[in-house]
Amino acid sequence: MTRYAFIGDIHGQYAKLQALLAILQAESADWFYVFVGDLIDNKRGITESQLNTLETVKSLVDSKKALCLMGNHEFNAVGWALRHQKTGQPLRPHTENNRKQHQAFLDAVTENSALHQKWITWFQSLPLYADFGAIRAVHACWDEAVIQAIQPYLKANNVIAEAYWEEAFEKNSPLYNMTETLLKGPELALPEGVMFHDKTGLPRKNIRVRWWLPQATTYRQLAQVPPDAESLIPDLPLGKGYAPLSSEVPVVIGHYTLHGEPAPLSENVICTDYNAAKGDNPLVAYCCTIESGCLSPKGFIFSDSNVF
């Protein structure tokens, strides 16, 4: 029997990680931890804890007690640090907004230092997804067609091969679009003339979609946006071109900054990101066991409680 604890987006909240691990270890010493990505980045000031978080997770991975998946923030960190071989430009543009999102990590490692390079190299070793047979995990979206199509760009352990990092940041390249889906989730264009502002204040004409909701019939039902932005999304019927995804195997994701009491998003999709990056929101794990290929859910556990 293998016990799995899928741990949501940490974003440098080391104290919450310590608390959650203590609760899990009190329940069992046999957990295999799966971190679904986004270990880093937060508001400025959460600096020292960025490194403590990384060292803790890497130590668990190195001791074969854990697996850490690539999150969009680790992916973006690689793009920020790497430069195009021909142009010399960073793969991820050093815009003011991109720097603001990434500054806490850069402050922690000192940009362009040996320590910075150490963690970028480690980030490049993180797999995009994991398939444990009875359950799967990916940072944002399990799209089976994308999983199959991305194979030529990956090593055997689901890690992006070194030769393809430049292509991964070339907008509209096949690899760029596939990593966008897996690490950030699919998006859908809003009707002509409709937009809203995201949490950074940027105008958006696309919405992240609740790809796990086959019953959604309008843009508002489908939109995965902050609660205070839902009213900005038109309650218009979806176009006929939208096709929801489905997963016959349970899949655990993070990324979506959910609110409220943790619960499965659908019959086979579980999210562990309940905005632990902010304030007193707990870090969440989803726990289960697999024995003889059969999955037995245990449920959610929180960094501030021991209730499954």
Whether 288 contacts 298, CB under 8 Å: yes
| Same domain (yes/no): 43, 72 | yes
Please give the angle made by the CA atoms of 199, 205 and 209, to the nearest 5 degrees.
Answer: 75
* Averaged pLDDT for residues 177-198: 89
Domain boundary among 244, 267, 291: 244
28 with 164, same domain: the answer is yes
Q: Does the pLDDT of residue 257 top 90, yes or no?
A: yes
Q: What is the dihedral of CA 12, 60, 260, 100, to 10 degrees?
A: 20
Q: What is the mean pLDDT of the chain?
A: 93
Domain residue limits at 193: 187-244
Order across the sheet with 2-7: list the strands. 66-68, 31-35, 2-7, 284-291, 294-302
Assigned domain for 27 exists: yes
Number of domains in the chain: 2
pLDDT in tens, 41-71: 998 877 779 999 999 999 999 999 999 999 9
Distances (CA, A) of 38 to 105, 117, 139, 255, 257: 12, 18, 8, 8, 11
CATH number at residue 286: 3.60.21.10
Indicate whether 306 pLDDT > 60.
Answer: no
